[in-house]
Amino acid sequence: MTSLLSIPSLAAVATIREVVEALSRRSGVDAVMVVGRDGLPIDSRTANGVDGDNVAALLPSVINGMAQLGQAGGRGEFGTAVLEFGSGLAVVAVLHADAQLVVLVRPSTNVGALLYDLRRHRSAIAGLL
């Protein structure tokens, strides 16, 4: 299986489970979750004590708040955010109206390539759902 980082398109990745697994194998990643807008996990991989059910339940509220911030600030629709915490980062993204993604990474993890891949492959990932 080729990692998401090295494939030119997601044609080589047949399922959302394979995308979640590929993302979870990246260095510094503690959790990858695809979550429905109801807060229920669609697929996830968690490690290092991450409470996946609680993160999934909270994600829609976080994304709704970010969407409201974007609207109030005249920035348009919410797409992706990087949230910094004392013990790492959370990358949150809307895949489509019914699915959201969160990737939790350890401190000092370079998320540049992850952000690039998510932007580049967002519609292909959403198409797998």
Residues above pLDDT 90, as percent of the chain: 83
* Domain positions in the chain: 12-127
* Residue pLDDT, tens place only, 64-115: 999 999 999 999 999 999 999 999 999 999 999 999 999 999 999 999 999 9
- Planar angle of CA 127, 33, 27, nearest 5 degrees: 105
The pLDDT value given to residue 87:
94
The pLDDT value given to residue 12:
62
CATH topology of domain 12-127: Beta-Lactamase (3.30.450)
Residue 72 has which token pair?
A: 């109030």
- Planar angle of CA 62, 64, 65, nearest 5 degrees: 65
The pLDDT value given to residue 13:
61
Q: What are phi and psi of 91, to 5 degrees?
A: -100, 120
Cβ atoms of 124 and 9 within 8 Å: the answer is yes
Residue 7 has pLDDT above 60, yes or no: no
